[in-house]
Structure 1
Amino acid sequence: MKINPYNSIPQNPYRKQIEKTEKAATTEAKRDKVEISSEALSMQQVTKVEKERQEKVEALKKQIASGEYKVDSKAIANKLYDYWNNN
């Protein structure tokens, strides 16, 4: 009996394809999961300061839209002067 190692196939070439499809089927079943910490949830809560700030912004927008808002150039210049000289 003559045994030729070159004629034998040690692995089934289609087995790799079957294994890939099985792995793909198992990975599709997995889903991403997001967990938000309690600290992050507390940061998302709207605070009283933010509500007051939003009200102030809305009032300023109304003044600008109606043309009633006046810019005090001296106050701006004083603030800029103080900022650049104190820093």
Structure 2
Amino acid sequence: MKINPYSQIQNVYRKQVGKQQPKADVSQKRDQLQISNEAKIMQQETRISTERKERIEALKAQVNAGEYKVNAEDVARKFYDYWNER
């Protein structure tokens, strides 16, 4: 007479747990980063970024001096073109 009909199932699970392989040593693996030549070229300063920096500095100086004036018509035209997908 069997009191616990599930005893055989539990034994099957125990056998499966024992068969599991040990995990590989993770400490030996390392992350690597590779940067393509194109990305390295993009990271270098170019003539455009130099000109842009100069323009930004000039605009900052105008704003700080209170001399920067916003052309409302140009701003409105840009908004209109953007929202109408031109």
Short-chain TM bin:
0.5 to 0.7
Any gaps of 5 or more consecutive residues in structure 1?
1-10
Percentage identity across paired residues of the two chains: 46
With over 3 angstroms needed to count, the CA separation of the structure-2 counterparts of 1:14 and 1:56, relative to structure 1, is same
Task: Note the C-alpha offset of 1:40.
Answer: 1.0
Question: Counterpart in 1 of 2:46?
Answer: 47
In the TM superposition, what are the counterparts of 1:1-87 in structure 2 within 5 Å?
A: 19-20=22-23, 23-24=24-25, 27-77=26-76, 87=86
Deviation track 1:36-67 (CA, whole Å, cap 9, x = no partner) reads 11011111111111111111111101110110
**Cα distance, 1:34–1:85 mapped onto 2, change above 3 Å:** closer
CA distance in 2, matches of 1:33, 1:81: 47
1:16, CA displacement in angstroms? 5.8
Deviation at 1:31, TM superposition (A): 0.4
Q: TM-score, normalised by structure 1?
A: 0.58
Q: CA deviation at 1:15?
A: 8.7
Q: Given residue 71 of structure 1, which amino acid in structure 2 is its aligned partner?
A: V
SS at match of 1:60: helix
Alignment RMSD (CA, Å)? 3.4
